[in-house]
Amino acid sequence: MEYKLRKAEPRDVSDILRLVKELAKYEEMEDQVTLTEKELLEDGFGDTPFYHCIIAELQGKNSSDDGKVVGFVMYYFTYDPWVGKQLYLEEFYVMDEYRGMGIGSGLLRHLSDLAMNTRCTGMMFVVAENNEPSIQFYKLRGAEDLSQEEGWRLFRFSKNSLVKMGTPVEE
């Protein structure tokens, strides 16, 4: 089955949200997805996008699957003050029934190429430690586990604690 990769357009936001929810379900975190199509539209296609997406779309000549969105990557640019620009891979997913066809590898290759063309020195992402297939997939391709090898821990302030922390203290 043929597929093509292209930059996401505003019309893709419902497919993007569908795939985000499918991946969250796979990670048993479906109820954590609070993002809406409206937010995806504003945040990805406004004056200053917070994220970018590459879509994998099927190309079957007379097939009912033609034009179906079956995979995507969501990414943005970050900065490491030691080595400069990085590309951050936020989300990477191919629908279960379309795996094993090279779509995942194709998306990753496209993104790595983009990282190099935009002078990023690295591509960063997180993986859940119990997600063995994914960890193997990435390690096979030369990714380093910075948490394991260098002791980096990801920390987060969620909305409530962020608001508390951001409230100026009365002098």
Partner 1 sequence: MDFSIRAANVEDCKDIARMILELAEYEKVADHVKVTQRDLEQDGFSKNPFFHGIVAEVPEQHKAKEGHTKIGYALYFYSYSSWSGRAVYMEDLYVMPEFRGKGIGKALMSKVAQLGLAAGCNQLNFTVLDWNKPSLDFYLSQGSFDVTADMGYHCMRCEGEALEHLAQP
41-70 positions binding partner 1, by CB under 8 A? 43, 50-51
Tokens 């490491």 belong to which residue? 80
Choices 1-9, 61-69, 72-80, 95-103 (CB under 8 A): range interacting with partner 1: 72-80
Task: Decide: is 88 part of the binding site for partner 1 (CB under 8 A).
Answer: yes
- CA dihedral (9, 15, 17, 23) positive or negative: negative
Residue 51 known to be catalytic: no
22 neighbors 69 (Cβ within 8 angstroms): no
Map the footprint of partner 1 across residues 102-131, applying CB under 8 A.
108-109, 112-113, 115-116, 121-130
For 36, the token pair is 């809406």
- Give the total of residues touching partner 1 (CB under 8 A): 72
Task: Decide: is 137 part of the binding site for partner 1 (CB under 8 A).
Answer: no
Q: What are phi and psi of 40, to 5 degrees?
A: -60, -40
